[in-house]
Amino acid sequence: MTNDQAVGRQCILAEAQQLFFAHGYHGASVREIVQACGLSNAALYYHFGSKEGLLGAVVEAVAEAWLDQLEAAQPAQGDLAARLRMAVDGWQAMIEDPARPMKLLLSVQLDGADTSPEIRTSLQRVYERAREVVAEGIRAAAGELPELNALADQVLGLVQGAALAFHLESDRKRLRARLCGIAHLIETRVFAAGPRSATPLHRNEKE
């Protein structure tokens, strides 16, 4: 691949992310995407094979950014309460990120998941990896818990739900309350399984 081809591929990918976000997968046309890059339809098919192939590449790029943020939101030090406060800060920053990987991934899930088995499989891999990240963060903070994967599933679903609600409402205070509620759920489950030394998060969280 020449340098010009590499630049063209990256431009198509970036424009597709923006247009899929703005108009949804079905609302963004191949022509719009390539014209924004000064290219022809053939360039998109050369690099991605099809519009569905392009969506797959978008999912991978967006998921990578989202998982990086999710991992960064799992603090490596501190007691349980401190880790949970930092996790809430990290989740909030991730959801409010101006680059919007979380919002775009939600959009792809809602609008593009039924496009092909390959896309559904890709989204499932992303979800499973995200669950592993959440489970590892809980394990690092609180040790091994009964039904840890089930708890990680619940936390991940609630974080996604909080993100969706925020992107519908744009209410930062309600987002914060939802995220603190998720942290409190983790704290409650940890103490029910055998508490470590920690000060309950909700007593330290500012209103």
Q: What is the pLDDT of residue 202?
A: 45
Residue with tokens 């989740």: 91
Two structure tokens written together for 108: 């792809």
Closest CA to 103 of 167, 159, 58: 167
Q: What is the pLDDT of residue 28?
A: 87
- DSSP code of residue 195: P
User: Domain residues of the chain, as ranges?
Assistant: 1-49, 52-204
Q: What is the pLDDT of residue 112?
A: 53
Q: What is the pLDDT of residue 115?
A: 60
For domain 52-204, which architecture applies?
A: Orthogonal Bundle (1.10)
Question: How far, in Å, CA of 98 to CA of 62, rounded?
Answer: 13
| Crossing angle (nearest 10°) for helices 148-169 and 80-96 | 40
> What is the CB neighbour count within 10 angstroms for residue 38?
9
Q: What is the pLDDT of residue 15?
A: 93
Q: What is the pLDDT of residue 200?
A: 44
Q: What is the pLDDT of residue 29?
A: 92
Q: What is the pLDDT of residue 26?
A: 82
pTM, two decimals, is 0.73
Per CATH, the homologous superfamily of domain 1-49 is Homeodomain-like (1.10.10.60)
pLDDT per 10-residue tile (average), the chain, 207 residues: 85 90 84 94 93 86 82 79 88 82 73 65 83 88 87 92 90 96 92 58 45
Two structure tokens written together for 17: 């992310």
Q: What are phi and psi of 91, to 5 degrees?
A: -60, -40
Alpha-helical regions (H) of the chain: 3-23, 30-36, 41-48, 51-72, 80-96, 101-112, 117-142, 148-169, 172-193, 201-204
